[in-house]
Amino acid sequence: MQYFYLAIAIVCEVIATSALKASDGFRVLGPTVLVLVGYTAAFYLLSLTLRTLPVGIAYAIWSGVGQVLVMCVAWFLYRQTLDLAALLGIALILSGVLVLALFSKSMPH
């Protein structure tokens, strides 16, 4: 279940972070509600994840996957351009997450 909680926590965090731009400094109600609900759910689910996963590993996965997904959302919704360096960075982040998830003895399997 810890990986399910972590995956849903990441999705909630990505939704909340992506809604920050649309909230216009918390002046637009709908996106502001998404930010507040999304971050609350994300941190609650992350706390459930930390019952069984080490905090350093869980946070590395959370932040790495979250960063990549936020960049994808920014590219799709806000038309942010991704140059070769950005794409290389995304590949390196994903590689790091995969190394942690597949090969680290710190991860319970």
What pLDDT digit, counting tens, does each position of 38-96 carry?
999 999 999 999 999 989 889 989 999 999 999 999 999 999 999 999 999 999 999 99
What does the alpha-carbon distance between residue 79 and residue 72 come to, in Å, rounded to a whole number?
Answer: 10
- Give 100's pLDDT tier (boundaries 50, 70, 90): confident
Within a domain: residue 108?
Answer: no
What does the alpha-carbon distance between residue 38 and residue 92 come to, in Å, rounded to a whole number?
Answer: 27
- Which DSSP symbol is given to 53? S
Within a domain: residue 75?
Answer: yes
Within a domain: residue 74?
Answer: yes
pLDDT above 90 for 98: no
- Give 107's pLDDT tier (boundaries 50, 70, 90): low
Within a domain: residue 91?
Answer: yes
Determine which helix (DSSP H) or strand (DSSP E) holds 1, and give its type and residue range: none
What does the alpha-carbon distance between residue 81 and residue 71 come to, in Å, rounded to a whole number?
Answer: 9
Which ranges of 50-83 does DSSP label H, i.e. alpha helix? 55-77
Report yes or no on whether pTM surpasses 0.75: yes
Within a domain: residue 44?
Answer: yes
The 3-state DSSP class for residue 106 equals coil
The 3-state DSSP class for residue 28 equals coil
pLDDT at 103: 83
Within a domain: residue 40?
Answer: yes
Per DSSP, the chain holds a count of helices (H) and strands (E) of 4, 0
Which carries the bigger pLDDT value, residue 2 or residue 35? 35
Parent domain of 23 = 2-103
Q: How many domains does the chain have?
A: 1
Within a domain: residue 90?
Answer: yes
Within a domain: residue 109?
Answer: no
